[in-house]
Amino acid sequence: MKSNITVKLARCKGCGICVAFCPKQVLALDELGKVKIVNAEACIACGQCELRCPDYAIFMDKAVDAK
């Protein structure tokens, strides 16, 4: 399954919850303390980042791979 992660930086307060819950280290905090996508290819579309974000700054669109 592929996914498309969207980050609304204006909403991100840099709490790091999404980074902590990501099982594949897809996310990291940048030098300004905001979340950034560092390894999109590793994303398994578990949705933990979106579910755990207290500021609704991350959105995940899940799409099934065409076969």
Phi first, then psi, for residue 49 (nearest 5°) are: -65, -45
Q: What is the pLDDT of residue 55?
A: 95
Give me the tens of pLDDT residue by residue for the chain, a chain 67 residues long: 567 899 999 999 999 999 999 999 999 999 999 999 999 999 998 999 999 999 999 999 866 555 5
Q: What is the pLDDT of residue 28?
A: 97
Q: What is the pLDDT of residue 1?
A: 53
Token pair in block for residue 44 = 């398994």
Residue 7 in 3-state DSSP? strand
Q: What is the pLDDT of residue 38?
A: 95
